[in-house]
Amino acid sequence: MVERFSFELSAVDGAARIGVIHTPRGEIRTPAFMPVGTAGTVKAMMPESVRATGADILLGNTYHLMLRPTAERIAALGGLHRFMNWERPILTDSGGFQVMSLASLRKLTEEGVRFASHIDGSKHLLTPERSMEIQRLLGSDIVMAFDECPALPAEDKVVAESMRMSMRWARRSREAFGDRPGYALFGIMQGGVTRDLREESAAALREIGFEGYAIGGLAVGEGQEAMFGVLDYAPGFLPEDRPRYLMGVGKPDDIVGAVERGVDMMDCVLPSRSGRTGQGWTRRGSVNLRNARHRDDPRPLDEACSCPACRQYSRAYLHHVVKADEIIGSMLLTWHNLQYYQDLMAGLRAAIAAGRLAAFVAEFHATRAEGDIEPL
Amino acid sequence: MVERFSFELSAVDGAARIGVIHTPRGEIRTPAFMPVGTAGTVKAMMPESVRATGADILLGNTYHLMLRPTAERIAALGGLHRFMNWERPILTDSGGFQVMSLASLRKLTEEGVRFASHIDGSKHLLTPERSMEIQRLLGSDIVMAFDECPALPAEDKVVAESMRMSMRWARRSREAFGDRPGYALFGIMQGGVTRDLREESAAALREIGFEGYAIGGLAVGEGQEAMFGVLDYAPGFLPEDRPRYLMGVGKPDDIVGAVERGVDMMDCVLPSRSGRTGQGWTRRGSVNLRNARHRDDPRPLDEACSCPACRQYSRAYLHHVVKADEIIGSMLLTWHNLQYYQDLMAGLRAAIAAGRLAAFVAEFHATRAEGDIEPL
């Protein structure tokens, strides 16, 4: 068993790269997509099924877990891995982003954020130091620095001030994290869609020094074109020998574009959340299973997919259980969507390894452009 | 592969019996508990997980399936087994009971029941002939005769008239079922809690002749004592060499009492339904996982249970996911409850085989009398 956290880059194709993150809890093949296990569960999935899709690492949400069941309780129960029955690596966010989007009565100061729980109204203070403590109590393998990020579009001045406070918080996070062999702390680059601010943020983070670097403050309303615009230069501001994590991204074409631009890790609730609303992501695009066109269709959702939803059930069955609000509809579509995302990552890794990423991406877009299979 | 439906009795212990029902789709070990797959799914369970608990057969509901997705659609898609990915035996009810409990604008005549769908208000007519046709379209292995049953308590006159119409419907069901090797038609005894009516009903059914016999009209409000009172004599009115099915039963102690009295098959939504409301059935009784006493409890729900909920998760985790309304709470507790029910059936079968049913039942009650484990 590896005792230290390390990142090994094994091949590049243009700006894209493949590698392996070594942790005491197992390897993470990059580029990696991390399913989101918000409150101690990837919704509607057994963890062994998440693993069966090919996921090497899950993401947990500090904000949700600190409120319920609380970090102290999870620590007393042996940590988040044991609690949720996932023994492989876990990355936790810092709580900052979700406090700003979910909590009420928020008050942001240099110290941190005071807020009221969306569950029971209880009062809390989240600071860089408290975020580090919570993530340590959870037993997170990859800990995220505590940061703050404005919704876009926003004025440069607002983005700059916010970014500079996040950089001060990044330093406090590093100091509070301490020396924890086998665990990693990632800094988070901010700066909106402004190149100079991104460069300034990256320089500040490199001076502090982290085991990995996230690109934060994207996928917050700026649109894919603006996001790709930032990704055309931002990864280049970060050390080549450390993993680069694009937070909260995204749709399949966002992922492909990010990987092309040198991103190593991503996470998003999209595949699991949309699986609970009857949406399936396939090689030929997104399919709404509620649509009556599927009612009599004996064909699988995606004939190229190996997941149980596609191997063992028809579109007609998926339509039926989605319409009838049966839990198995959420279970099957979430499984399928996570499988599709992991298959996409495996395809991207294989293409980068073979130096044929451009051809893979061209085929990815061409297949999607065909649209869903014709009705029978 | 067996081509015919048959029942083989292998041992008795008092009135209790064990045996095997042979069908072309596999064997059913009796006494058998049948999980309910209402609308083409045992709610919150993958069918392979239902099978993993030890279930040999599922029950499907004609009323739900005829309305959505419709029997004709399921037939066009290859039948209910393929549709819901359960290749082992399926028993379907006749629809009569659920029409009376779920539909609106019901009108009962000698012909059958006219009603409006609870889903979309559409008008339907269910008769013995139509019920046989629907169950044939579904591909059900064990078809139930179309019957009607009054809620108890009810006057003898009402119960008698209802029973006699059900017996006329039983004959029409037999005639409409026709000659279908490998498939079985079960008649349903009615007569409330009145011995003479039960005897009259059984005689009528035996004269028609069925592959198996159900005891209907119980578990409809009469209470356990009255139900056991009927079960003290009613199974004896039925042919010894055919399976006896007690419909809609029940709680674990109902099941034990029914098996003691010679019942071979049962079904109930209780283990799955209560799993979706945070209730776990254990060897020591029923446990409400919502209760705060479980919040910090690292112990399994039932330490003697082999299901994933008990092997891989703490009571604290189950409490957390139930409180947070996470789907995995329903998934894990349904799995546990179905596992507990199947373990109970396996225990009953082994005890009957060994001629030690009385000792098994005494221990069953003694363990439950201890109550749940003490808080830590």
b/e map B223-232, b = 16+ CB within 10 Å:
ebeebeebbe
The answer to whether the beta carbons of residues A80 and A72 sit under 8 Å apart is no
Q: b/e string for B305-314 if b means 16 or more Cβ within 10 A?
A: bebbbbebbb
Burial of B242 (0-12, 13-18, 19+ CB in 10 A): buried
Find all residues with CB under 8 Å of A6, minimum gap 6, and list them. Answer: A21, A22
Q: Residue A350 in contact with residue A336, Cβ under 8 Å?
A: no
For an interface test with A, give the residue of B77, B319, B330 to mutate (most A CBs within 10 A).
B77
Closest CA to B300 of B251, B348, B339: B339
C-alpha A58/C-alpha A143 separation (Å) is 12
* Catalytically annotated residue among A267, A297, A302, A372: A267
Contact B295 A331 (CB under 8 A): no
Q: How far is CA A327 from its chain centroid?
A: 24
Interface of A with B in 66-105 (CB under 8 A): 68-69, 73, 76-78, 83-85
Q: Cα angle at B89 between B141 and B51, to 5 degrees?
A: 165
- The reported pLDDT for the residue numbered B151 is 80
Q: Say yes or no for a CB contact (<8 Å) between A69 and B328.
A: no
> What residues of chain B lie within 8 A of the CB of A44, using their CB?
327-328, 331
Q: What length does chain B have?
A: 376
The residue behind tokens 């001076």 is A207
Q: Is B96 helix (H, G, I), strand (E, B) or coil?
A: helix
Check if the beta carbon of residue A135 is closer than 8 Å to that of residue A144: yes
Best of A41, A48, A296, A301 to disrupt the B interface (most B CBs within 10 Å) is A41
**Tens-binned pLDDT, residue by residue, of chain B (376 aa):** 568 999 999 999 999 999 999 999 999 999 999 999 999 999 999 999 999 999 999 999 999 999 999 999 999 999 999 999 999 999 999 999 999 888 888 999 999 999 999 999 999 999 999 999 999 999 999 999 999 988 888 899 999 999 999 999 999 999 999 999 999 999 999 999 999 999 999 999 999 999 999 999 999 889 999 999 999 999 999 999 999 999 999 999 999 999 999 999 999 999 999 999 999 999 999 999 999 999 999 999 999 999 999 999 999 999 999 999 999 999 999 999 999 999 999 999 999 999 999 999 999 999 999 999 999 8
Determine how many CB atoms are found less than 10 A away from the CB of residue B15: 15
How crowded is residue A155: how many other Cβ atoms within 10 Å of its Cβ? 10
- Interface contact flag, B323 A46, Cβ < 8 Å: no
Residue keyed to tokens 């399994």: B300
Residue A18 has pLDDT above 90, yes or no: yes
> How distant is the Cα of A323 from the closest Cα of chain B, in angstroms?
9
**Pick from B16, B33, B20, B18: nearest CA to B261:** B16
**Rounded Cα distance, B316 and A123, in Å:** 24
pTM: 0.98
Nearest residue in B to A326, CA atom: B43
CB contact under 8 A, B316 and A83: yes
**Count of A-B CB contacts under 8 Å:** 102
Structure confidence at residue A149 (pLDDT): 87
Structure tokens at B278: 């945070």
**pLDDT at residue B200, as a whole number:** 98
Chain B contact for A296 (CB, 8 A cutoff): yes
Strand order in the sheet with A123-126: A104-108, A113-116, A123-126
Torsions phi, psi for A101 (to 5 deg): -100, -25
pLDDT tens figures, B39-64: 999 999 999 999 999 999 999 999 99
Residues of A in contact with B41 (CB under 8 A): 321, 326-328
In sequence order, what are the residues at sequence separation of 6 or more whose Cβ sits closer than 8 angstroms to the Cβ of residue B17?
A: B9, B11, B30, B31, B262, B264, B352
Which contacts (CB < 8 Å, 24+ apart) does range A205-211 have?
A205/A167, A205/A170, A205/A238, A206/A238, A206/A239, A208/A170, A208/A171, A208/A174, A209/A174, A210/A145, A210/A170, A210/A174, A210/A184, A210/A185, A210/A186, A210/A242, A211/A5, A211/A7, A211/A142, A211/A184, A211/A185, A211/A186, A211/A242
Report the alpha-carbon distance of residue B30 to residue B19 in Å, rounded: 5
Whether the link from the prior residue into B69 is cis, omega within 30° of 0, is: yes
- A118 CB neighbours in chain B (<8 A) are none
CA distance A128 to chain B (A): 26
Partner residue facing B328 (CB), from A41, A73, A323 = A41
| Contact between chains at A328 and B45 (C-beta distance less than 8 A) | yes
Q: How far apart are CA A189 and CA A192, in angstroms?
A: 9
Is residue A312 less than 8 Å (CB to CB) from chain B? yes
- Of residues B67, B66, B47, the one with CA closest to residue B58: B47
pLDDT at A104: 87
Sheet architecture: strand order including A26-30 = A6-13, A16-23, A26-30
Say if the Cβ atoms of A298 and B328 lie within 8 Å: no
- Predicted pLDDT of residue B2: 66
Hey, are the CB atoms on B68 and A328 less than 8 Å from each other? Answer: no
Interface test with B, best of A45, A77, A82 (most B CBs within 10 A): A77
Q: A165, A110 in Cβ contact below 8 A?
A: yes
**A267 catalytic, yes or no?**
yes
Whether A302 is catalytic is no
CA distance B161 to A32: 69
Q: Identify the band that residue A152 occupies on the pLDDT scale cut at 50, 70 and 90.
A: confident
B269 touches chain A (CB under 8 A): no
